[in-house]
Amino acid sequence: MTRPYAITFVRRVFVSFPVLYRVLGVALFGVLGAAPSAECQQAVDMRRAVTATASIRVSGSFAELHIRGWTRDSVAITGTVPSDAHFGGGFLTPAGGASPGAKFFLESPTGVPSGVLELRVPVGARVWAKAGSATIDAEGVTGGLDLNVIGGSVHVTGSPRELTVEAMDAAIAVEGAPPWARLKTASGDVTLGAGSEDAAVTTVSGDIRIAGKYERLRISSVTGPVGFNGDIVRGGSLDIDTHSGTVDLRFTPKISADVDIATMSGQIENAFNKRAPIAGREGRGQELAFMAGNGGARIYVRSFKGNVKLSQSFLKIVSF
What residues form DSSP beta bridges with 174? Answer: 156, 192
> What's the pLDDT score for residue 53?
97
What distance in Å separates the CA atoms of residue 54 and residue 123, rounded to the nearest whole number?
A: 10
**Amino acid type, 302:** R
Opening angle at CA 103, ends 166 and 173, nearest 5:
25
- State yes or no: pLDDT of 291 exceeds 50: yes
pLDDT in tens, 15-31: 443 444 443 444 443 43
Residue 7 has pLDDT above 70, yes or no: no
* Average pLDDT rounded to a whole number, residues 202-219: 96
Phi, psi of 19 (to 5 degrees): -65, -40
With pLDDT > 70 as the criterion, what percentage of the chain qualifies?
86
Mean pLDDT for 185-191 is: 96
Q: Give the pLDDT confidence score for residue 152 in this predicted structure.
A: 96
Q: Report the DSSP beta bridge partners of residue 82.
A: 41
Q: What is residue 288's predicted lDDT score, i.e. its pLDDT?
A: 96
pLDDT at 38: 52
Higher pLDDT, residue 289 or 314? 289
Contact 178, 200 (CB under 8 A): no
What type of residue sits at position 9? Answer: F
More confident residue, 120 or 35: 120
At 97, the pLDDT band (50, 70, 90 cuts) reads confident
In the predicted structure, residue 312 carries a pLDDT above the cut 70: yes
Over residues 35-64, mean pLDDT:
87
Farthest-apart Cα atoms in the chain, separation: 90
Looking at residue 10, the DSSP 8-state letter turns out to be: -
Residue range 178-194: average pLDDT? 96
Q: Quote the CA–CA distance of 312 and 197 in Å, as a whole number.
A: 22
Asked if pLDDT for residue 37 goes beyond 70, the answer is no
Looking at residue 94, what is its pLDDT?
82
Q: Output DSSP code: residue 254.
A: T
Instruction: Report the amino acid identity of residue 231.
Output: D
25 or 65: which leads in pLDDT: 65
pLDDT in tens, 100-113: 999 999 999 888 88
